[in-house]
Structure 1
Amino acid sequence: MNEPIIHIHELYKKYKDADDFSVNNLSLVIEQKEIFGLLGPNGAGKTTLLSMLCGLIKPTSGHFTISGLSYEKNATQIKKTIGVVPQEYALYPTLTARENLRYFGSMYGLKGRELCQKVDDTLEHLGLLKFADKKVDTFSGGMKRRVNLIAGILHNPKVLFLDEPTVGVDVQSKNVIINYLKELNANGTSIIYTSHHLTEAQDFCSHIAIIDRGKIYAQGTPRELVSTTPNAHNLEDVFISLTGKELRDDA
């Protein structure tokens, strides 16, 4: 039996001067080749959890492994194993798309003809090759999202973390992004994804965990979650049933 791609055991995170834990005794197993959705309202702990898994912040306590590796012993190896696509654009606006991607590819150790070919192939695949030499600050939101995605996958990561990868994009760009992610997954990349687009998540994810107040309230396939929640017809009904109707606006 294959080892889980991610194994989280009793993970806690409490920020300095905070009253409550952002992640509170969270345990979770994510299998290889899943498209795993982490869904929750604002302030639920999703971004904190992703930040720990990406090695950006340290847990207060608890433990997790990625592909059997821990940051305590194998940080460099893990960073080569994962790809990260943040919600905010991680791009240099005054550089062209090609310049941005060659820069990010070089950070992952790609170089020369291999890097140039990979950049051009992926730009073409996502409908951006004809804009390759235009500055990113002239791009639409959907175009920036696609370049942002490419920057995180040039090194063929085994695990890809996506934080709201289709927020603020047009329908056509969203379809291109989702279809490309499905291709990556079919070729063996495990995907961990957060989104507020519940219909998208229901269609896209093979498995989902609903998180709130730093804890997992439910997990399963989208179909399992809908079928086991009273009076639920879709994932949005499940979400509201578990997390309530209270507004979660962030100031």
Structure 2
Amino acid sequence: MNRRLSQVALSAAAALTLSLAAPVAAQASDTTVTAKRGPVATAVSTQAAPAAASGSVRFTRSAVIGSSTSVYTSTRASVSVPGAVSWYVYADVFVNGAARVRNDLVASNNYPTGSASWPRSSGYGKVQLRNVRVESYDANYNRTTSRLPDSNAVPVRRGTTYKIASTIQKRGKKVTIRAKNWKVYNPNGSTSAVRKLTVKRYYKGKWRGVKHIKLNRNGSGKVTFKQKKKFKYRVYLATTSTIQGTYMYFPRKV
């Protein structure tokens, strides 16, 4: 009997040992780990800036000096900028090889047909756009600057004043044509008289010269000749390298 009691006591002691050891084992398997901050994705997708521009800008008209203190003429831009939503063309205006205006806006994507201007005091001769550049922008306002070739060079001439006048009179066979105040503007704003005009008449489908009018220092003069038949006439000022030509016409036959 004592032997059975001893076995029971040993079993109870073993069970107690296991029950006491179990919490210790459980505690030994617990793990605590401190978290670290991970990286935050802040990168954004970027859109490529506009590609380099290609094309050209040119004058579409010659320039004429007038009563204004500035001279203007028309420009046209043919520009391609892949990826751009807007573009602007700037250039320096050179007259007779000298820079007269810097960074003049001469065209844009909304107004490809524009203009250029410069001071009248720059003189007459030749005008050209140089250092032509295109500033283009994409949808994210990224800017790209590109260079274009220089423009064509066009003449700058002196224009006639608004006071020019001409009259025609016929008595019998005698025709008299008078010219008055035929003058052109100078770069300093003064005027100079034109020295010669041509009288033309319309004959057989063409305007043909018949007489010349020599003008005095006031730009006035007359010519008289005989002509039995009636014709249409006009008074013509020829275009030269420095003067812009024009004409006045009489609307009916005389």
The alignment's TM-score, normalised by the length of structure 1, stands at 0.23
Q: Greater helix share, 1 or 2? A: 1
Question: Larger radius of gyration, structure 1 or 2?
Answer: 2
Q: Greater strand share, 1 or 2? A: 2
Bigger relative contact order, structure 1 or 2, given CA contacts below 8 A and separation 6+? Answer: 1
